[in-house]
Chain A
Amino acid sequence: MPDGKSVESYVSKREPIEQGTSSDDGADLDANFKRWETETLAPALESAPERKEKFRTQALKWDVNRLYSPRDLEAIDFDFNRDVGFPGEFPYTRGTDPNGYRSRLWTMAQVTGFGTGEDWATRADYMLEQGLDGLIIEYDLPTTNGLDSDHPLAAGEVGRAGVAIDSLEDMERALSFDFSKLKHLTSVCNGPQPVNLAMIIAATEKKGIDPASFTLQMPNAILIEYTCVGRYIYPPEHGLRVATDVIEYTIRNQPHWVPIAVVSAQLYAARANPVQELAFGFSIAMEYLDSVLERGLTIDEVAPYFSFITGVDMDFFEAIGKLRAYRKVWARLLTERYGAKSEASLRLKLMSSPGTMSMTLQQPLNNISRLSMQMLSCVLGGGAQTMTSPLHDEAHALPSEEAIAVGAAIQNIVAHESGTADTIDPLAGSYYVESMTRRIEDAVMAEIEKIDAMGGALEAIKTGYFQRELAREQFDRNKEIEDGSRKLVGVNHLAKDDEERQIELFALDPGSEQRQIERLEALRKRRDNTKVDAALGRVRAAAESDENLMPSVLEAVKVLATQGEICDVLREAFGVYTPDSLTSGV
């Protein structure tokens, strides 16, 4: 760990509480509060008792008070300058852009992926025509697991959950859409990220696309895969090394791109509550930071390349508190632990999205309403530089074109019709929102210290701590839905029996898997296999040494080695990860 990481107490830096200049006001407040309770509230409760015995936040299960007042701010020693401050300045509670969304709206992005490269490019053009300027490319399960389309485990999965990419030629096809409209591309390929990055570099080079004309964000977030998603390939230490190679190579060679995104949204999707999401996510981020710092770069050279992707759930104020605390905790960790100085390091680069996990299979049109509320909480929370919206048919199938258009419209309605993007951090000072923000911040810092005591995120993954914590949340949430203590409209509240499907779903071309396999077989015959073997040999040599994998992988990709072949070489060098009963979380 770098020297700066030793803890400098944030609490000790706090100024003593300033006593109110007029204690009479305070006395008035208490007296008024009591008077309201007895004279106004009590008779009302007499005739209309409360709906629930206890009101709690949805994920954190924190008690929600009936009413928040200045007393709640005093209880957290609230200090405007320290806790909130100004936009674009430490601690960034009010957002990282000095002018909020008044100068620039967020980049509006959407996720898509299915079929072959050409299918993806056609869909990408359609999405860009809908007024989106960011795209998130999802790959199918064989691709994200580092397997070629003709691998036995790939059967039935080719081009299903994302686009199938076996070789550089597939990537060239996928990137054959109109780049002039694109600002941001996120490429989600955690396990085989070096191969994926190499293919994008080689494809844009061949097409003459200026790498500085768009931001490529690579999640490269392998540690999340061991925690909950499962698309890992190698054991965690090797996964971390591969990810570090991608980060280091990008910083040194493709400085316009973002080589790491900690996808805490995946933790959320695995039911992490906001405190777990941030604490696990930041602990994971610190493993990557520490690992890249060992390559001889300084914190201010590295931290600006770190980004995060989060998802928000339905509890409006938990979501807003989470987004505000997200920025604040990152800035604190970077200054207190790493001694970062540059503003680019301290400003959290965040993509936020309404949560796919709150989309219901039942009554799918209701999801449009859920998406709108979540998008609103993203904006009110000072969300992010980039936002995506999942789609209302998400739980049924791959998104239809109609769902994509509605998803884009939701972002634009919030941006242009609600007025919420016209002033910066409009909820600052709210007794409830400030209490929530600080409570989340404090709880996240405490959980991070707990993970530190275990030896950090890598150890917490290896011993199964994260996995077991998530398993417990998953079980509890399911129980709440089953026993009705958590109401979900269309699921356990206002549910309809034998509901008829009300939406048009996207239908995938069933022949695309076979075509992809035939194309792959033809490629293997057509290319110069002597060159491929030599290039794979150099990948092996790099894997077995400390050399960065990227140059040899790039060379292999250019001579048309397939993704599966390159990953096989790495499998032989690093081994394959198999979790046990402790680390699987099941």
Chain B
Amino acid sequence: MSSSSPSNRPRTIRVLLAKLGLDAHTIGVTVIAKSLRDAGMEVVYSGLKQTPEMVVATAIQEDVDVVGISSLSAAHMNHLPRVIELLKAEGVGDKLIIAGGVIPKEDGETLKAQGVAEVFTMGTETATIVRYIEDWWATR
């Protein structure tokens, strides 16, 4: 029974944080999830052992604005390009796709050329990621 009109309120940014393949390093994604929630965003977490197909299905089902992929294993180049490809194929390629973790510079450049907006490597401050998403949201 809210008296204010919903259209006057800015919609909450919805973010899917995902882990692909067998990479089970979750400290980074845990810290990012809390930081984004503290900044007022809604965060959906995929859980572990996800395939690109599962991640894209969740992104569509949860109607998220941002897909953030955390990768701290060797397999990011096996899974991430497929996520981008599938999102485009599903016609939802306008979502912001970001990645973070241990991703060598060369791989990061390749991923950016394929459609990942930004790659946040180890040591990035959480505030930088929050600001990046908010800036994208404001200018979208």
- B73 in contact with A155 (CB, 8 Å): no
- Enumerate chain A residues within 8 angstroms of B27, measured Cβ to Cβ: 270-271, 474
The residue on B at minimum CB distance from A576 is B49
- Enumerate chain B residues within 8 angstroms of A478, measured Cβ to Cβ: 31, 126
Determine the main DSSP class of A at the interface with B. Answer: loop
With A474-B30, A586-B26: A156-B125 Cβ-Cβ less than 8 Å: no
Q: How many residues of B contact A (CB 8 A)?
A: 30
Is B122 among interface residues, defined by CB-CB distance under 8 A?
yes
- A153 in contact with B123 (CB, 8 Å): no
- Enumerate chain A residues within 8 angstroms of B87, measured Cβ to Cβ: none
- B33 in contact with A586 (CB, 8 Å): yes
Partner of B22, one of A157, A270, A395, A471: A157
How many residue pairs bridge A and B at CB < 8 Å? 81
- Enumerate chain A residues within 8 angstroms of B77, measured Cβ to Cβ: 156
| One of A209-217, A320-328, A577-585 contacting the partner | A577-585
Q: How far apart are the CA atoms of A581 and B44 in the complex, in Å?
A: 9
- A153 in contact with B126 (CB, 8 Å): no
With A482-B127, A579-B47, A581-B45: A155-B31 Cβ-Cβ less than 8 Å: no
- A361 in contact with B47 (CB, 8 Å): no
- Enumerate chain B residues within 8 angstroms of A155, measured Cβ to Cβ: 21, 75, 78-79
1/0 per residue B27-44: CB within 8 Å of A?
Answer: 101110111000000000
Is A390 among interface residues, defined by CB-CB distance under 8 A?
no
- Enumerate chain B residues within 8 angstroms of A230, measured Cβ to Cβ: 24, 26, 48
- B26 in contact with A157 (CB, 8 Å): no
- Enumerate chain A residues within 8 angstroms of B26, measured Cβ to Cβ: 228, 230, 584-586
Is B23 among interface residues, defined by CB-CB distance under 8 A?
yes
The residue on A at minimum CB distance from B33 is A586
- Which of B27, B29, B51, B73 has the most chain A CB within a 10 Å cutoff? B27
1/0 per residue A424-449: CB within 8 Å of B?
Answer: 00000000000000000000000000
- A471 in contact with B73 (CB, 8 Å): no
With A145-B22, A155-B78, A362-B123: A578-B34 Cβ-Cβ less than 8 Å: no
Pairs across A and B, CB under 8 Å, 19 listed: A141-B21, A145-B22, A145-B49, A152-B51, A153-B49, A155-B79, A156-B77, A157-B75, A230-B24, A230-B26, A230-B48, A471-B30, A471-B34, A474-B27, A474-B31, A475-B30, A475-B31, A581-B45, A584-B48
